[in-house]
């Protein structure tokens, strides 16, 4: 699993590209909660298509909100989360991230999920 939390700069723009995905372990999950411009989407889709990555969790996009007709909504390999800010303490955020990482590692359901049927 690789999580992108970087700020957007000239150096980090398009950082998640084919070469980046090739460095990840086969079967990994890519999570982008940084900025949409970090991701080269065609490269991610190619890595998923060839089975190098098994899934992706995307919280940010080049166009936000993600249009309802975008094919990413129906791709079973991609989980889309709502990119929304709130007034939450750093410790609460860290605890939620750690809790969900532990869920993934232990084969448990993620906390605080929503139905994809509600997103359309």
| Active-site option among 35, 52, 77, 120 | 35
User: Residue 107 phi/psi, 5° resolution?
Assistant: 70, 25
35 is catalytic: yes
As a whole number of angstroms, the distance between CA 10 and CA 24 comes to 23
Query: How far apart are alpha carbons 69 and 116 in whole angstroms?
Result: 14
Quickly count: other Cβ atoms within 10 Å of residue 58's Cβ. 22
- Among 38, 77, 83, 120, the active-site one is 83
* Residues known to be catalytic: 35, 83
């Amino acid at each position: 699993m690789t999580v992108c939390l970087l700020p957007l700069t000239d150096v980090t723009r398009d950082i998640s590209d084919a070469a980046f995905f090739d460095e990840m372990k086969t079967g990994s999950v890519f999570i982008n909660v940084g900025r949409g411009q970090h991701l080269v989407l065609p490269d991610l889709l190619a890595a998923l298509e060839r089975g190098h990555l098994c899934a992706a969790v995307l919280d940010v996009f080049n166009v936000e909100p993600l249009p309802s007709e975008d094919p990413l909504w129906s791709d079973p390999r991609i989980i889309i989360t709502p990119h929304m800010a709130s007034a939450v303490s750093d410790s609460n955020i860290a605890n939620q991230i750690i809790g969900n990482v532990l869920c993934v590692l232990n084969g448990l359901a993620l906390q605080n999920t929503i139905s994809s049927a509600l997103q359309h």
